[in-house]
Amino acid sequence: MNYLKQIPADFGNFNVYRRNEFTCKNHMVSHRRDFYKISLIKGQGKLYYANRGVDVSANALLFSNPMVPYKWEATSQEQTGYFCVFKEGFLSQTRQNNSFEATESPFKIGADSVFFLEPNQQAYVSTLFEQMLTENTSDYIHKHELLKNYIHLLIHEALKIRPNTRYFKYGSNASERITYCFIELLSRQFPIDSPEQQLRLKTPTDFAQQLSVHVNYLNRSVKEITGNTTSEMIAQRVVEEAKALLLHTNWNIAEIALCLGFPEPAYFSNFFKKRVAHTPGQYRKTKV
């Protein structure tokens, strides 16, 4: 079960919770593509990524990038701890050195995101989360600045720990897992909400890098499970979004093209006409 779905949709740019307040036996990461997450996990379980997993048998600090799908499978009765969720802008507006862009950031794609804690580290991290819980409900005028500082303290605490993550490979269901993660990752880029938003992942290679697998492996897995190529599945989803934007927004063709990853409107028009038999302009006129 995805316990983040139990959280109100209007909780703002930041919130913090105790894990035992939610159903956290088994869940997929939230579909909310714009939220990052830091969790202190007290309890045992397995984290599954595209083609690898991590055994969590001790207290661990987990950093979740919204563009990296994962699944948590609890293997112990005790499932306590804390987690906080926040938008990227919640932190990036505070400092010139954006923690998400730093090469050593635990949120960075391909970086170690699981950090196992010694008892004294676990106690310190728990204290930080308790302070966030208290501050989040206070009426202190500068509480958001203080909450941002607590998040940075969590990040720096992780950076001080030498990563010792041992990943295991999947068995016979690896192709299904990778295909699921690819489809999940593809869907998270949509819908396009504003002309300023642009697709971050456009090609099979982009998705393979995000999932930390070789592009040939991704292509074979997707073809085996769905019968379609990775490129065709990407193209189909882009066409669906293009149709929606043409019909339900007043954005011009150039704006839509740029949002969908086409640097020139002509490239977008050729792509769209090949698949829909109409140019974007013609489609908008005939359907509106």
Q: How far is CA 17 from CA 61, 63, 80, 131, 146, in A?
A: 15, 15, 11, 12, 17
> Rounded to two decimals, what is the model's pTM?
0.70
Say if residue 32's pLDDT is above 70.
no
- Does domain 3-168 fall under CATH 3.40.50.300? My reply is no
Q: Exposure pattern of 10-46 as b/e (b: 16+ CB <10 Å)?
A: eeebbbbbebeebebeebbbbeeeebbbbbbbbbbbb
For the chain, give me the number of helices (H) and strands (E)? Answer: 10, 10
| Window from 37-41, 63-67, 212-216 with minimum mean pLDDT | 63-67
- Crossing angle of helices 174-187 and 204-211, in 10° steps, is 110
Can you give the residue ranges of every domain in the chain? 3-168, 173-287
Q: Does 71 or 59 have the greater pLDDT score?
A: 59
Say if residue 249's pLDDT is above 60.
yes
* Amino acid in position 285: K
Hey, how many other C-beta atoms are within 10 angstroms of the C-beta on 2? 17
Whole-number average pLDDT of the chain:
84
Q: Specify the CATH superfamily of domain 173-287.
A: Homeodomain-like (1.10.10.60)
Closest CA to 185 of 19, 24, 67, 100: 67
